[in-house]
Structures are given as structure tokens and as C-alpha cells.
Amino acid sequence: EMTPEFMEIVNKCKTEHEPTEDELKGMMALRVPESANGKCFMGCVLQEIGVVKDGKFDKEEAKKHAASKMTDKDELEKHMQLIEKCSQEVGGETDSCGIGPKLMECIKQFAPEFDIALPQQPSE
């Protein structure tokens, strides 16, 4: 959901990295951007939220972030498992522009396994 704080982060990162409108729309539907700008924009947002620190995925911070957003215990547990899994998947990545896309691919790949609903892909 788009809180004012989150919109501020998005706008700050948009100014810094200038992803296209198409890329922004795509990211909302979990489409990984192709351009360096789009990828670095994702990394920027993750860094501003705090789940990426010094170019590395911070799984403890990601878990705290999830816990602050979710009230449903079962949902939260599923997300914790997904965070664990994706933390392993992106563990070797130390470039913040590479982490965003990798993380998104991981979420798309494994969310169904943990029975987590993803945003609907708009049909092309």
C-alpha cells in the first residue's frame, strides 16, 4: 500500500534514477525492469526502506518491516519463510542495482510455494 512516507521514497528514487513510467507500472505488477535506471531505482527504494544496507539484503530488517505491516499471524509466518528463502537466493549479490531485480524474481518464483498471493499480472 502507498503511504505518504513510501511515496516520498519513490519520488526521491525516481528523481535520482529516472525509471520510465512503463517500468514503474511494470514493477507494481512485479515485472523486473530491463534498464539500469529501473534496476537501480528498485535498489534505491529497498535501501530507503532499509531492507538493503550497504548493497546487501538485510533479512532481519525485512522481517521487521513485514511484521510492522501484517496483523495476520499465518500470513506473517508465510512471509517470514519467503524472506528466509530469498535471503539465501540474493545472498551473494552485493550490488544494490542487482538486488532489487533478483529479489523480485525470487518473490515471483517462491511466493506461490508459500501460498502468498501476488499482484495480478496485467495481460500484455
CATH number, domain with residue 64: 1.10.238.20
Domain-located, residue 60: yes
Do the domain assignments include residue 86? yes
pLDDT at 110 over 90: yes
Q: Is residue 39 part of a domain?
A: yes
The answer to whether residue 67 sits within a structural domain is yes
Does 48 reside within a domain? yes
Give tens-digit pLDDT for 2-29. Answer: 789 989 999 999 999 999 999 999 998 8
Residue 61 lies in a domain: yes
Q: Is residue 90 part of a domain?
A: yes
Q: Inform me whether the pLDDT recorded for 121 exceeds 80.
A: no
Amino acid at 9: I
* 23-43 as b/e: b if 16+ CB within 10 A: beebbeeebbbeeebbbbbbb
Residue 121 is assigned to a structural domain of this protein: no
Residue 69's pLDDT band (boundaries 50, 70, 90)? confident
Domains identified in the chain, total number: 1
In whole angstroms, give the CA distance from residue 122 to residue 62: 27
Task: Evaluate whether 8 touches 86 at the Cβ level (below 8 Å).
Answer: no
Can you give the pLDDT at residue 105?
93
- Domain range enclosing 58: 4-114
Whether 54 has a pLDDT exceeding 90, the answer reads: no
